[in-house]
């Protein structure tokens, strides 16, 4: 029996002298996906993008986010490593409402181009539903965190209509007309816009002078279209 206890003691000494094995686990950074409204995107939603690309595709966070962003103009995903910044520290954003066909930036209710760049994201969150409704009402497309394509150049017919201006009388007959798509060096040699502005002011003067008290008054200015008298 005493030999048995001596053996147990010897084994215990051996175990005590052995260096313990410690498993070191490398910390893995937390990667969170946020959308343009600074909401957390569920990882199941992110992974579903990868599965839609290929049934056998390995789930890859960066590739899935890139694929989603390439397919959307009104929302973008962002990968945040670690702690999520508050909305006031979130990256600035851009917002555009553009024509669905020509990509020309549309005008807001005040007549100003509807575009905001380097805009606080908190403002996007506060105004998103209203801006989305504005885009739908105008038949436009809302771009968020995406720069829209450059506008398509207008056709010759579109330019002709855009820079046309007329004075018509009380029965619709044309009294004066000018087409400013081709710059007239005798007026403004720089741009059609300057030429058109000059003609608009001149036509206003004509109405106030020649048109005032004319037998076929009132005279009216119409513009930005191709007009044919009845």
Please tell me the total count of domains within the chain.
3
Residue 151 lies in a domain: no
Average pLDDT, the chain: 83
d(CA 184, CA 159): 15
Residue 202 lies in a domain: yes
Residue 10 lies in a domain: no
d(CA 221, CA 200): 8
Name which of 220, 122, 215 is nearest 175 in CA terms.
220
pLDDT higher at 39 or 100: 39
Predicted local confidence at residue 208, as pLDDT: 93
Geometric angle at alpha carbon 124, from 120 and 128, rounded to 5°: 175
Tell me the backbone φ, ψ of residue 40, rounded to 5 degrees: -70, 130
Residue 13 lies in a domain: no
Predicted local confidence at residue 109, as pLDDT: 75
Q: Can you give the residue range of the structural domain that contains 119?
A: 90-144
pTM: 0.59
Asked if residue 121 and residue 72 are part of one domain, the reply reads no
Asked if residue 214 and residue 171 are part of one domain, the reply reads yes
- pLDDT digits over 30-86, tens only? 889 999 999 999 998 988 887 776 655 556 889 899 999 999 999 999 999 988 999
Residue 150 lies in a domain: no
* Boundary residue ending a domain (123, 144, 165): 144
Asked if residue 208 and residue 160 are part of one domain, the reply reads yes
């Amino acid at each position: 029996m005493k030999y048995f206890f001596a053996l147990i003691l010897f084994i215990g000494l051996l175990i005590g002298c052995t260096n313990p094995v410690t498993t070191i686990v490398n910390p893995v950074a937390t990667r969170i996906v946020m959308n343009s409204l600074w909401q957390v995107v569920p990882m199941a939603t992110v992974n579903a993008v990868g599965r839609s690309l290929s049934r056998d595709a390995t789930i890859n966070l960066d590739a899935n986010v890139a694929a989603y962003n390439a397919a959307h103009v009104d929302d973008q995903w962002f990968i945040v490593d670690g702690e999520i910044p508050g909305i006031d520290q979130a990256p600035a954003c851009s917002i555009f409402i553009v024509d669905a066909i020509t990509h020309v930036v549309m005008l807001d209710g005040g007549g100003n181009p509807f575009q905001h760049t380097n805009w606080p994201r908190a403002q996007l969150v506060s105004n998103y539903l209203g801006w989305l409704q504005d885009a739908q009402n105008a038949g436009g497309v809302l771009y968020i965190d995406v720069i829209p394509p450059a506008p398509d150049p207008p056709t010759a017919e579109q330019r002709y209509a855009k820079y046309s201006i007329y004075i018509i009388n009380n029965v619709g007959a044309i009294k004066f007309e000018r087409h400013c798509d081709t710059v007239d060096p005798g007026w403004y040699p720089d741009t059609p816009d300057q030429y058109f502005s000059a003609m608009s002011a001149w036509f206003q003067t004509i109405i106030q002078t020649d048109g005032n008290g004319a037998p076929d008054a009132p005279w009216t200015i119409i513009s930005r279209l191709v007009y044919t008298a009845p």
